[in-house]
Amino acid sequence: MLQYSSVGRSGLKVSSLGLGCNNFGMKIDQAAATEVVDAALDAGITLFDTADIYAKGQSEELLGKALGGRRDDVVIASKFGAPIAPGPYGGGSSRRHIIRACEDSLRRLGTDYIDLYYQHYPDPETPIDETLHAMDDLVRAGKVRYTAASNLAAWQLADAVHVGRANSLGQFLAVQAEWNLLTRDAERELVPAAAQFGVGVIPYFPLASGLLTGKYRQGADYPEGSRLASLPYFTSVATPENFAAVERLRKVADNAGLTMVGAALSWLAAQPTVPSVLVGATSAAQVAANAEALTELTPDLLAAIESAAAGS
Report the catalytic residues: 54
> Quick one: which of 258, 234, 269 has its CA closest to 308?
258
Q: Which residues contact 302 (CB under 8 A, 6 or more apart)?
A: 267, 270
**E runs forming strands in 51-151:** 75-80, 114-119, 144-150
Which 3 state secondary structure label does DSSP give 223?
A: coil
Contact 91, 81 (CB under 8 A): yes
Contact 46, 54 (CB under 8 A): no
Q: Which residues contact 290 (CB under 8 A, 6 or more apart)?
A: 17, 261, 265, 279, 281
Contact 20, 30 (CB under 8 A): no
